Copies of this chain bind each other. A is one copy, B any other.
Amino acid sequence: MDIEKANAQATEQMMEARPVLVGLGKARDVIPGMRENLLLHAGPPITWARASGPMQGAITGALIFEGKAKDEAEAQALVESGEIELEPCHHHGAAGPMAGVICPSMSVYIIENKTHGNKSYSNLNEGYGKVLRYGAYSEEVLEKLRWMEEVMAPVLADAIAASEGIDIRALLAEALHMGDEGHNRNKAGSILYTTKLAPFIVRAAKSADVAADILRALGENALSVLNPVMAACKAMADAAHGIEGSTIVTVMARNGTDFGIRVSGLGDRWFTAPVAVPKGLYFPGFTAEDSSGDIGDSTITETAGIGGFAMASAPAIVTFVSGTPKDAINATMEMYEICYAEHKYFNMPPLDFRGTPTGIDIRKVVEKGITPRVNTGIAHKDAGVGQVGAGLVRPPMAMFEEALMAFAEEYGI
């Protein structure tokens, strides 16, 4: 078995994957394995009892949205009785930010990897403030979700169908030249996305007012492209998965309680360890005491070579996650230490257009004692509150060590 060759193939496939946004449909209709009593969530598998506050909050909100529960107690009863089942987004080709809860009635973006044919999914981004993904589920949150579902989604679906599809890899490459890193900073990407879809949205909307409302919602939300980007990264990472003998990480994800990774050459097995609490900047009135453990599937961006790995592209992000522009350069430089490749399509002007570090190699992580850097939002630890800050976090080393031991065992090394 040739690990080098396997890793070269895995990273080549990750980089040559060309994820294109091709559609939008209800989760129940388009996500493989989705069913009426199922909720998808971020990170590795979790139970109600072990779920973090924001995860319980988002599950509650989703069940209220589905008309299946009235409050947290009812939601808990449904989940604990097994009447409602929980499964990771990643078991269904999907990825969701923060709590990452996707329920059957939600619309999801459909990404197709035009190179290898695999598909992936993510839900619509809700914007800032009180939002389900951070565990909030007040009437204001549900009202926004209903507007997104009833007003925005049908127009977006028609608009995307009328377009020739939006090449998210190309969009990301452009955004990395415009100060984005693709995870916490998607300011340029979101307005690129909005302007590309705008002519189609205008034609698809049944009135000018509806078109204007949707354009405003997309254009003013600097994260509107985050979810298509996450699905695109999922499609790229999936293209690298299942290569016999490869030590490349193809999933990193957190559910607020556990961090979990999957490795290309180790099938669908999760390697997990307790999440850390992110370090960063807190909104006025909040401190690290209020923070939930690290949560969300958005680490699929770092898995695919952007986000914290492309920090050098996004010096302005330090005002949001703390640090100096020099720290941003250093973050990227450090990630070259643990990655197998440099990206062919994602490059960074401040580093003389060098490709982003791509394809985390568990051997290098363990050998060098360097864990991946992750940019992230920070959720309040209690259900129903929401975002309290943004910052940086490292996954626990234990998962990588466990994965490396499993690899040695699997391949008889």
Q: How far is the CB of A44 from chain B (nearest CB, A)?
A: 35
Residue of B nearest to A314 (CB): B349
Question: Which of the segments A83-91, A202-210, A242-250 contacts the partner chain?
Answer: A202-210
In the complex with contacts A178-B178, A179-B178, A209-B216 CB distance below 8 A: no
Among B192, B213, B324, the residue within 8 A (CB) of A352 is B324
Interface residue tally for chain A (C-beta within 8 Å): 38
A326 vs B188: C-alpha distance when bound (angstroms): 23
The closest CB in chain B to the CB of A217 belongs to B199
Q: State the CA gap A318–B216 with chains docked (Å).
A: 33
Report chain B residues within 8 Å CB of A325: 349-353
Q: How far apart are the CA atoms of A208 and B159 in the complex, in Å? A: 13
> B199–A198 contact, CB under 8 A?
no
**Which residues does chain B contribute within 8 Å of A352, judged by CB atoms?**
324-326
B209 engages A203 (CB within 8 Å): yes
A316 at the interface (CB under 8 A from B): yes
CB pair B194 A198 closer than 8 Å: yes
> What separation, in Å, do the CA atoms of A393 and B191 have in the docked complex?
32
Contact across chains for A219 and B195 when beta carbons are under 8 A apart? yes
Is A211's CB within 8 Å of the partner chain B? Answer: yes
Determine the distance from Cα of A59 to Cα of B215 in the docked complex, in whole angstroms. Answer: 39
Given A177-B179, A208-B202: A215 and B195 within 8 A (CB)? yes
* Complexed CA–CA distance, A178 and B191 (Å): 11
Task: Please determine whether A179 and B212 come into contact, CB atoms closer than 8 angstroms.
Answer: no
Besides A202-B212, A325-B353, 20 other A-B contacts (C-beta < 8 A): A178-B187, A179-B179, A179-B188, A188-B191, A191-B191, A191-B192, A194-B198, A195-B215, A195-B219, A198-B198, A199-B219, A200-B212, A202-B211, A202-B215, A203-B212, A208-B211, A315-B349, A315-B350, A325-B349, A326-B352
